[in-house]
Structure 1
Amino acid sequence: MTQHDTRQPRPADGQDRVRGRAGWAPLGLFAERSVLGLLAVVAIGLGFGTVLLLVRFHWAPLQRLDHGVAEGLNHLVAPHSDLVSALTQVSGFGGRPFMLWLVVLAVLVLLIRRRPRLAIYLVVASTGALLLDPSLKTLVGRVRPIVDVPVAAAPGNSFPSGHALGSMVVYGALLLVFLPAVRRGGRPFLAAGAALIVVSIGVSRAALGVHYLSDVVAGWLLGAAWLGVTAYAFRVWRRETGRAVEPLEEGLEPEAAPQLRPAPAERQVLPHPWAGAAEIVVGWVLTFGLAYALGYAVTHLTAGTPVASFDDGVPRWLQSFRTPGLDHLSHLWSKAGDTHAILAISLVFCALAMALWRQWRLVLFLALTMAGELTLFLGTAAAVDRPRPPVAQLDGPMPTSSFPSGHIAATLCLWTAIALVAVPRIRQWWRWVIVVLAVIMPAGVALSRMYRGEHHPTDVVGAIMLTAGWLGVLMWAVRPNADLRTATQAARDAEQRRG
Structure 2
Amino acid sequence: MDRATAAALRPAEHFTGRSLLGLFAVVGAGSGFGLLLMLVRFQWDPMYRVDHGVADQLNDFVSARGPLVTVLQALTDLGGRPIMMWLVGIVAVGLLIRGQRRLAVYLLVTGVGALILDPSLKLLVGRIRPAVDVPVASAPGNSFPSGHALGATVAYGALLLVFLPVASRRLRALAIWVFAAIVVLVGFTRVALGVHYVSDVVAGWLLGLAWLGVTAYAFRLWRRETGRPVPPITEGIEPEAADDLAPASREDHLLPHPRSSTAEIITGWVLTFGVLFVFGVLVSRYADGTFIERLDTAVPRWFAEHRTPALDDVSWWLSKAGDTHAILAVSLVFCPLAVAVLRQWRPVLFIALAMFGELTLFLASAAAVDRPRPGVPHLDGPLPTSSFPSGHIAATLCLYSAIALIVMSHTSRPWRWLTVGAAVVMPAAVAVSRIYRGMHHPTDLMGAMLLAALWLTLLWWVVRPDAGDAGEQTEAEPASDRQLAVTAKT
Normalising by structure 2, report the TM-score.
Answer: 0.91
Identity %: 61
After superposition, residues 218-297 of structure 1 pair within 5 angstroms as 218-264=203-249, 266-297=251-282
**1:138 matches 2:123:** yes
More off after superposition, 149-158 vs 81-90: 81-90
Match of 2:166 in 1: 181
What is the aligned counterpart of 2:23 among 38, 48, 52? 38
Cα distance between partner residues in 1 of 2:461 and 2:177: 39
Tell me if the contact between 1:37 and 1:232 (Cα under 8 Å) persists in the aligned partners.
Answer: no
For residue 444 of structure 2, the aligned residue among 459, 477, 486 is: 459
Note the C-alpha offset of 1:85. 2.5
Aligned pairs for 1:192-203 (under 5 A) are 192-203=177-188
1:102 and 2:87 matched: yes
Give the letter for the 1:72 counterpart: Q
Residue 443 of structure 1 is aligned with which of 428, 432, 445? 428
Between the aligned partners of 1:476 and 1:285, the Cα distance in structure 2 is 16
1:299 Cα deviation from its structure 2 partner: 1.7
* C-alpha spacing 1:265/1:188, structure 2 compared with 1 (3 Å): closer
Question: CA 1:80–1:327 in structure 2 vs 1: closer, same or farther (change >3 Å)?
Answer: farther
1:483 to partner: Cα distance: 3.3
Contact 1:258/1:264, CA 8 A, preserved across alignment: no
* Separation in structure 2 between the aligned mates of residue 327 and residue 71 of structure 1, nearest angstrom: 45
**Contact 1:30–1:245 (CA<8 Å) still a contact in 2?**
no
Aligned position for 1:356? 341
Within 5 Å, give how 1:86-165 maps onto structure 2: 86-165=71-150
Structure 1 residue corresponding to 2:307, chosen from 322, 325, 338:
322
Listed one character per residue, the Cα deviations across residues 163-193 of structure 1 (whole Å, up to 9, x for unaligned) are 1111110111011111212222222222222
Distance 1:241 1:131 in 2: 29
Matched, 1:396 2:346: no
Cα distance in 1 between the residues matched to 2:157 and 2:120: 21
1:83 to 2:83 alignment? no
In the TM superposition, residue 241 of structure 1 has moved relative to its aligned partner by: 1.2
Q: Could you tell me the TM-score, scaled by structure 1's length?
A: 0.89
Equivalent pair of 1:380/1:403 in contact (CA under 8 Å): yes
Give runs of aligned pairs for residues 364-375 of structure 1, distance below 5 A: 364-375=349-360
Structure 2 equivalent of residue 477 of structure 1: 462
Give the SS at the match of 2:468: helix
One-letter code of the match for 2:374? P
- Show the counterpart of 2:476: none
Judge conservation of contact 1:266–1:358 (CA < 8 Å) in 2: no
CA offset digits 1:254-311 (Å, max 9, x no partner): 1111001122264532111111111111111111110111111112111232212211
Shift in Å, 1:113: 0.6
**Distance between the aligned counterparts of 1:322 and 1:35, measured in 2?**
70
Q: 1:30 to 1:216 in 2, by over 3 A?
A: closer
- State the number of aligned residues: 466
Which residue of 1 is the match for residue 192 of structure 2?
207
Aligned counterparts of 1:466 and 1:262: Cα–Cα separation in 2: 32
State the distance in 2 between where 1:379 and 1:269 align.
Answer: 28
Aligned residue among 416, 434, 457 for 2:401: 416
- Cα offsets for 1:32-55 (capped at 9, x unmatched): 234321111001111111111111
Q: State whether residues 354 and 455 of structure 2, in contact with CA within 8 Å, keep that contact through their aligned partners in structure 1.
A: yes
Code of the aligned partner of 2:149? A
Unaligned runs of at least 5 residues, structure 1: 1-26
Q: How big is the shift at 1:161?
A: 0.7
CA, structure 1 residues 28+210, in 2 after alignment: closer, same or farther (shift >3 Å)?
closer
CA distance in 2: counterparts of 1:147 and 1:206, whole angstroms: 11
Q: Does the CA-based 8 Å contact 2:16-2:23 persist in structure 1?
A: no
For 1:282 and 1:188, locate their aligned partners in 2 and report how far apart those are by CA, in whole Å: 42
Q: Deviations over 1:113-154 (max 9, x none)?
A: 110000000011011111111111111111111111112221
* Structure 2 residues not aligned, in runs of 5+: 1-11, 474-478
Which of structures 1 and 2 has the bigger CA Rg?
Answer: 1
Deviation of 1:28 (Å):
8.3
Report the equivalent of 1:5.
none
**Structure 1 position 324, deviation (Å):** 2.4
Task: State which of 54, 63, 78 in structure 1 corresponds to 2:48.
Answer: 63
CA contact (8 A) 2:132 2:194 kept: yes
Q: Per-residue CA shift, 1:357-387, capped at 9, x if unaligned?
A: 1111111111111111111111111111111
Residues 48-97 of structure 1: per-residue CA shift (max 9 Å, x gap): 11111111111111111111111112112223333222222222222222
Kindly indicate whether the alpha-carbon contact (under 8 Å) linking 2:304 and 2:437 is maintained by their aligned counterparts in 1: yes
Q: Match of 1:412, as an amino acid?
A: L
